[in-house]
Amino acid sequence: MAGNSGPEFDHIFKLLLIGDSGVGKSSLLLRFTSDTFDDLSPTIGVDFKLKLVTLSGRRLKLTIWDTAGQERFRTLTSSYYRGAQGVILVYDVTRRDTFTDLSEVWLKEVELYSTNPDCIKMLVGNKVDKDAERVVSKQEGIAFARQYGCLFLECSAKTRANVQLCFEELVQKILDTPSLLADTKGVKKNLLRPEEPYNPQAAPGAGNCTC
Amino acid sequence: MNGGHNLSEAEKKRIEELEFEPGPVPPLRPVDRFGFLKPAGTGAEASSKPPAKPQSEREREERRLRKWRKMIGVGGTDWKHYVRRKPHVVKRRIRKGIPDCLRGLVWQLISGSRDLLLMNQGIYEQLVVYETSAAELDIIRDISRTFPSHVFFQQRHGPGQRSLYNVLKAYSVYDREVGYVQGMGFLAGLLLLYMSEEDAFWLLVALLKGAVHAPMEGLYLAGLPLVQQYLFQFERLVREQLPRLGSHFEEEVINPSMYASQWFITVFSYSFPFSLELRIWDVFLYEGVKIVFRVGLALLKYCQDDLVKLPFEKLVHALRNFPEDALQPDVLLPMAYSIKVSRRLEELRQEYIMMTNPLPQAEQLIKQTSPRDQRTEQQTSLDSDLIFLDNWISPALQKVCGTKIEWVPCRKLSWRWNSKPTPGDLQRFHFDRSHAIDHEASCIDEEGSAEPVALVDDDSKQEGEARKADSRPDRGKKKISLAPKPASFSTGEIAFEEIAEDVYGLERRAGTRLNASAADIASTSTSRHICPSGQRKFSATPTPEWPDMFEINAAETIEMFENDRDLMRITDEQLREVKYHKMTKEPVTRFAAEDVEVNISFPREGISTRSRSSGIKPHLSSPLSKKGKSSHVVDNPQPNPQPNDVNLNTTVSTEEE
């Protein structure tokens, strides 16, 4: 473990995965962190994974919160938006309702609870391996991303297509956004914490994230 | 997400599929003894058979199973009777783990679901077949994601998945306010591994609606109110019981929602080793949700030394991935049992309610939701003590004194023995409850009927009886030995009061019970009354006619002491002191009978009389009424001494000194 004297990383980022139940958030994360694919149980509350990556010569520690998609759990997940530099909005390309819920539900949640005005949003259409069942086209995804100022990728946690890229692009964008890099050296802990008490920017509903 | 399971818009069609078409049977793969697929990496070892258990262990298991079968009776017929008479035996055996082959039945018996099923015949079918639920699609989506590695739930649309769907759908119809929430599937799935669909459904109802313990539905209702409350309580308990870790958590801004919400929402059935889950569920169904707190605290306690060193991110990871050695039932559970939470849980619950509600509503809420768990437990303890005394002490005293012994209720905090034995008749008591209980249990197990062997009196004239008792072969711990000639005992010593309390914990418990009922009536907060300041003093007035000694085994005393710590408001320090005292100074403690004041007496016909004089109107029915007497509050200021109606053979074993 790195002591306080020499951190093992240059930046520490907090990322968040949101989206309807069953769209593949946990599978995406599992593919990214351990390059495996498995039958996963529904996420209850929140899950957490840690991944060290090196990007553009910088060593990054990614702390990734994976949230339960079911509506009932939103009371538990809402506090995890705070301080996140990146949010990944996931939908299932074979279920249209998961796509429409992004604007109906999930973007609103981000607006309401996120505290980083410049936080990067990444739209991800999962399960492209099921091409025969696809109901949301890539064009729709692109249009959505453009409208709401998000990055966009389609991927498959099952075949691993684009999964690494999702996270890399998101993280790269964070690295390119100077305002997000403040306090990511791991010195100030509060950016990581969902419920740190003294966040000066904690003004819910600031709504800056719609970009 | 769930590999190979397609979920598209045409999901209605899928429901039909679920009705009619099971998927292909998955290929045979090695499974563990519970039916979970072995991880792929361990294929080689999986094919080799597990080492055969040594003969002695097999025999022990068989003995255990026999005991359990006797305790349950055919189809559960004897169960209630047994629980009523010997709740302590039941509790202890359950804590050791219910034999796997009886688990399903016992779970139904202890959860109260059996009764629900019998009272509601036909309802389940109605719910499954004729009703529709808004949650059907959500349920279907999760079906293949619940225990995906268990053979029973592997086959797509197979019997396992179908049952799971039916149970969850039925519940979502039965209680539309709760509907279906992820997490319930794990409860239902776990139950379905041990019982039929309909049984599992009613057990779910029993849990969520609170047949025996506090209802769990708040874990799933909108806003997850009970989850929030439990997390609040848990956080505080961590800070109080594990202060080092608590302050580390505070520094790192870790809160229990990051790691513990699923513990509560699924009662540990989500991501723990199955053998541990089962053991937790055994206790959970019998003792209620506090085992979840206890196990959670025990886990943290076990790993505390490692956890306090970790920075935030590693800490969160560690809290979701406990080391294997921490998750062994026989390591973790005893640790969990030793952590006392009941009293604080109730206080924290009230604090939480006060915090989250405006005052008038809060008071109302506290009143309405009296701590059911706690009360039942106290009641059970009381019941069992009374029954114990009836079965064990009375016969001995009766023989010795030649008079009937009645345990009658006295003042709130003091007890009086109704019929004082004649001085001099009784030389000495030896009171060792663990022996007594074990002995009784083994008598029942081996002979099908209880044969309480009670106290010992060296100089009494019961040798014949004693021989009779002793002549039975293989009675395990039945022998009740005599103490050496008593040493003198100073009543001023701390140990005295505590031991006295332990032995006659009834006093305390009955006090509790009276107060609990008082609280109900007076509409005041319960916790303040549960154990008024804990300084119940035993009146230690030695009477010259009673030069006799009690003797208590130190280990047993400590165990009892720890068990009742919550009620007695004992601090850690005090507990340490007692342990120290008992272990080092007095492995066996003796004290004069009069010290415990043969004033000790026990309610027989319900709590009454003196409690009245202290302004409390008793309303709880007598625990002993279950023995066939009328179950009413005794308003009679002078309870009628009843003949001892213990319908068991009694034997008084005596020994010559």
Segment B10-35, tens digit of pLDDT = 555 555 555 556 777 777 778 888 88
Q: Which of A7-11, B513-517, B526-530, B596-600 has the lowest mean pLDDT?
A: B526-530
Whether residue A74 is contained in a domain is answered as yes
Is the pLDDT assigned to residue B48 strictly greater than 70?
A: no
Give the torsion sign (CA, A206, A207, A209, A211). Answer: negative
User: In this complex, how many residue pairs, one in chain A and one in chain B, have their CB atoms less than 8 Å apart?
Assistant: 128
Whether residue A203 is contained in a domain is answered as no
Is the pLDDT assigned to residue B579 strictly greater than 90?
A: no
Q: What pLDDT is stored for residue B86 in this prediction?
A: 84
Is the pLDDT assigned to residue B145 strictly greater than 70?
A: yes
Q: Tell me the nearest-neighbour CA distance from B26 into chain A, angstroms.
A: 14
Whether residue A40 is contained in a domain is answered as yes
- By Cβ distance, the residue of A37, A44, A72 closest to B262 is A44
Whether residue A190 is contained in a domain is answered as no
Q: What pLDDT is stored for residue B29 in this prediction?
A: 79
Q: What pLDDT is stored for residue A63 in this prediction?
A: 95
- What counts of helices (H) and strands (E) characterise chain B? 33, 4
Q: What pLDDT is stored for residue B37 in this prediction?
A: 83
Task: Please state the rounded mean pLDDT for residues B277-294.
Answer: 96
Contact residues for B12 (Cβ-Cβ < 8 A; gap 6+): none
Assign A18 to helix, strand or coil. Answer: strand
A11 near B CB under 8 A: no
Is the pLDDT assigned to residue A139 strictly greater than 90?
A: yes
The pair of structure tokens assigned to A171 is 């993280």
Tens of pLDDT, residues B440-469: 333 333 333 333 333 333 333 333 443 333
| Chain A residues in contact with B185 (beta carbon < 8 A) | 42
Asked whether the beta carbons of residue A195 and residue B311 sit closer than 8 angstroms, the reply is no
The pair of structure tokens assigned to B250 is 């505070």
The pair of structure tokens assigned to B360 is 């008038």
The pair of structure tokens assigned to B306 is 């490692």
Q: Which of B50-54, B57-61, B393-397 has the lowest mean pLDDT?
A: B393-397
Res. B395 pLDDT band, cuts 50 70 90: low
User: If we measure between CA atoms, which residue out of B422, B415, B417, B416 comes closest to residue B399?
Assistant: B422
Q: Please give the mean pLDDT across all residues of chain A.
A: 86
Whether residue A178 is contained in a domain is answered as yes
- Pair B593, B456: CB distance under 8 Å: no
Whether residue A4 is contained in a domain is answered as no
Whether residue A177 is contained in a domain is answered as yes
Task: Please state the rounded mean pLDDT for residues B347-359.
Answer: 88
Q: What pLDDT is stored for residue A39 in this prediction?
A: 84
Chain A stretch 52-111, residues whose beta carbon is closer than 8 A to a beta carbon of chain B: 61, 63, 68, 70, 72-73, 75-76, 79, 92, 94-96
| Chain A residues in contact with B3 (beta carbon < 8 A) | 37-39, 158
Q: What pLDDT is stored for residue B446 in this prediction?
A: 35
Higher pLDDT, A62 or B424: A62
Q: Which of A8-22, A178-192, B156-170 has the lowest mean pLDDT?
A: A178-192
Placement of tokens 């009662």 in the chain: B267
Residue of B nearest to A4 (CA): B311
Q: What pLDDT is stored for residue B84 in this prediction?
A: 82
Q: What pLDDT is stored for residue B461 in this prediction?
A: 36
- By Cβ distance, the residue of A40, A49, A95 closest to B2 is A40
Whether residue A195 is contained in a domain is answered as no
B228 near A CB under 8 A: yes
Checking B174-179 for CB contacts under 8 A at 24+ apart, the result is B174/B127, B174/B201, B174/B205, B175/B208, B175/B209, B175/B217, B176/B133, B176/B134, B177/B217, B177/B221, B178/B208, B178/B217, B178/B220, B178/B221, B179/B133, B179/B134, B179/B135
Is the pLDDT assigned to residue B545 strictly greater than 90?
A: no
Residue B160 and residue B154: Cα distance in Å, rounded? 8
Range of the domain at A162: 11-185
Task: Please state the rounded mean pLDDT for residues B333-345.
Answer: 93
Residue B94 and residue B103: Cα distance in Å, rounded? 10
Higher pLDDT, B238 or B502: B238
Q: Which of A88-97, A184-193, B298-307, B513-522 has the lowest mean pLDDT?
A: B513-522
Q: What pLDDT is stored for residue B284 in this prediction?
A: 97
Q: What pLDDT is stored for residue B532 in this prediction?
A: 25
Give the torsion sign (CA, A196, A197, A198, A199). Answer: positive
| pTM of the complete model | 0.65
Q: What pLDDT is stored for residue B377 in this prediction?
A: 43
Q: What pLDDT is stored for residue A131 in this prediction?
A: 94
Is the pLDDT assigned to residue B105 strictly greater than 70?
A: yes
Chain B stretch 255-294, residues whose beta carbon is closer than 8 A to a beta carbon of chain A: 255, 257-258, 261-262, 265-266, 270-271
The pair of structure tokens assigned to B361 is 């509503």
Higher pLDDT, B42 or B102: B102
| Number of domains comprising chain A | 1
Query: To which H or E segment does residue B49 belong?
Result: none
Tens of pLDDT, residues A155-177: 999 999 999 999 999 999 999 99
Count of Cβ atoms closer than 10 Å to residue B535 Cβ: 9
Q: Please give the mean pLDDT across all residues of chain B.
A: 65
Placement of tokens 């509560």 in the chain: B264
- Pair A135, A96: CB distance under 8 Å: yes
Chain A stretch 159-188, residues whose beta carbon is closer than 8 A to a beta carbon of chain B: none
Asked whether the beta carbons of residue A1 and residue B181 sit closer than 8 angstroms, the reply is no
Strands A151-154 and A120-126 come out as parallel
Distances in Å between the Cα of B405 and the Cα atoms of B386, B401, B642, B655 are 12, 9, 9, 22
Longest distance between any two alpha carbons in chain A, whole Å: 54
Higher pLDDT, B490 or A21: A21
Q: What pLDDT is stored for residue B524 in this prediction?
A: 20
Contact residues for B442 (Cβ-Cβ < 8 A; gap 6+): B475, B476, B477, B478
Q: What is the ipTM of this complex?
A: 0.86
Task: Please state the rounded mean pLDDT for residues B189-209.
Answer: 95
CATH no. for residue A130?
3.40.50.300
